[in-house]
Amino acid sequence: MKNFTLTTLSTAFLILIGTSAMAATPTKAEYNASKAEISTKYKADKDACKSQSANAKDICVEEAKGQEKIAKAELEENYSPSVKHRYAARMAKADAAYAVAKEKCDDADGNTKDVCRKEAKSAHVAAKADAKVVEKTSEANTTAREKTTEVRKDAATDKRDAAYAVAKEKCDAMSGDAKTNCLNEAKATFGKP
User: Above 70 in pLDDT, residue 17?
Assistant: no
pLDDT at 126: 85
For residue range 174-185, what is the model confidence (pLDDT) as tens digits? 989 999 999 999
Confidence of residue 14 (pLDDT cuts 50, 70, 90): very low
Helix residue ranges per DSSP H, 28-53: 28-49
Q: Which residue has the higher pLDDT, 139 or 173?
A: 173
Mean pLDDT, the chain, whole residue set: 83
Contact 63, 46 (CB under 8 A): no
Confidence of residue 18 (pLDDT cuts 50, 70, 90): very low
Q: Mark 105-127 as b/e (b = at least 16 C-beta within 10 Å).
A: bebeeeeeeeebbebbeebbeeb
pLDDT at 184: 92
Q: Who's near 74: CB < 8 A, 6+ residues apart?
A: 18, 21, 22, 89, 92
User: What residue spans define the domains of the chain?
Assistant: 2-144, 146-190
3-state secondary structure 124-136: HHHHHHHHHHHHH
Average pLDDT over residues 70-95: 88
Of 96, 82, 79, 97, nearest to 25 (Cα)? 79
Overall pTM surpassing 0.85 (yes/no): no
Q: CA 56, CA 107: separation in Å to the nearest integer?
A: 9
Contact 86, 134 (CB under 8 A): yes
* Angle, vertex CA 95, rays to CA 143 and CA 69, nearest 5: 90
